[in-house]
Every structure is written in structure tokens, then in C-alpha cells.
Amino acid sequence: MRNLIFQMMVSLDGYYEGSNGEIDWHTVEKEFNDYAADLLDQVDTLIFGRKTYELMASYWPTELALNDDPLVAKKMNVLSKIVVSRTLKSADWQNTKLIADHVEEEIRNLKNIPGKDLAIFGSSDLSLSLLEYGLIDEIRIFVNPVLLGKGKPLFQGLKTKINLELTQTRTLKSGLVMLYYKPAKKYI
């Protein structure tokens, strides 16, 4: 069975985006991009909720992304992608499949297909649902050296306590701290 990795950037005070949806405070530099390129070699499918999909699809296929970060852009564009949405009518980014219904079953089936691991970048609401279904195998939280004071808190709306086991930490020169967790036991 393939692992499903969820990763999210947060501020030190626990917000994944500012009060107006801004993420311009995310620490993204060479050391982080090297990590991202390595992760993209370890997965074969990316999963997004609608908002994150629209953000990613509006950037990675562009000339700006291809010039600014060609290695990550190429990988983001070539990998298989799934967008979970009941409102989107189409998903036009290269190699993207749209899932509107039976999300738990679809993702569970996807995990059982042979291949590399799966990854969710952002997509807080979708990730919360998948976490509660017991489908997320690893949580990677990247704490940025910034305090926002207000914004959208990570895991808001979680309905049950989930104990986690810290498996790895890494600190980048930029001050970004990467925390890797696994659920301590099956929680569903």
C-alpha cells in the first residue's frame, strides 16, 4: 500500500494562510526547492482541493515558473494530479483527473494501486477529511519564522483527537523548521 503524505506550511502561530488568504510569507528558497524536487521524485500522484489546485494550476505551467524553477515546474506539470471538487466542471492542467464524489473510496483505492507514494500539498479542508478517514500516513508541517497574528488555523474543525509520533525534524538555513509526524496508531 502506498503512503499518503500531507504537507503544509504554517506560521509559528499556526496559520496556513493570512486572514485574506495570502501566502506571500511562505519561506521558499533553494534549500526548500531542493527538498521539493527530491519529494517529487518519491511520489507519482499529487492530490489537491479546488482552491490549492487553482493556485498551483495558475502558476506551475507558466513561463514564469518554468524559468524561475524549471526542475520543480517540470515535475509538477508531468506528475499525475487529482483535484477533489464538487464545483469544478473541468481540470485542464496536464495529467489531472477530477473527483467530485466518493472521495474516501477513490483515495483508498488509489492508495492500493502499485506505485510511488502520494502527496497532498496544502488543501487544508480536504486533508482534514482524509485525516479523519484514516488515509493520511505522514504529516509534514513546515513552520515558517513569522508570526501572522491572525489567519486560517491548521486543522480547524478536527472532530477527534489524533495522537502523532514525531519521526524527523530538519531546520533550514532560512529558519524554516520541518516537522515530520506519523499517526501514533490507527485512529479510525
128-172 pLDDT, tens digit each: 999 999 999 999 999 999 999 999 999 999 998 899 999 999 999
DSSP 8-state class, residue 154: T
Judge whether residue 187 has pLDDT over 80.
no
Q: Among 14-18, 89-93, 109-113, 184-188, name the one with the lowest average pLDDT.
A: 184-188
pLDDT-derived band at 22, boundaries 50, 70, 90: very high
pLDDT given for residue 186 in this prediction: 58
What does each C-alpha distance from 134 to 46, 57, 97, 169, 186 come to in angstroms?
18, 28, 22, 23, 7
CATH code of the region 4-183:
3.40.430.10
Work out the pLDDT band at 184, boundaries 50, 70, 90.
confident
The residue among 57, 107, 45, 55 whose CA lies nearest residue 81 is 45
DSSP assigned state of 39? H
- What pLDDT, in 10s, does the model give residues 45-99? 999 999 999 999 999 999 999 999 999 999 999 999 999 999 999 999 999 999 9
188: pLDDT confidence band, cut at 50, 70 and 90? very low
What's the pLDDT at 28? 87
Distance CA 76, CA 122 (A): 14
Q: Are 8 and 128 in contact (CB under 8 A)?
A: no
DSSP H helical ranges for the chain: 30-42, 50-59, 63-68, 70-78, 103-112, 124-132
If you ran DSSP here, which 8-state letter would residue 149 be given?
S
List the Cα angle 188/15/172 in 5-degree steps. 95
Q: From CA 110, how far away is CA 51, in angstroms rounded?
A: 22
Domain spans of the chain? 4-183
117 three-class SS: strand
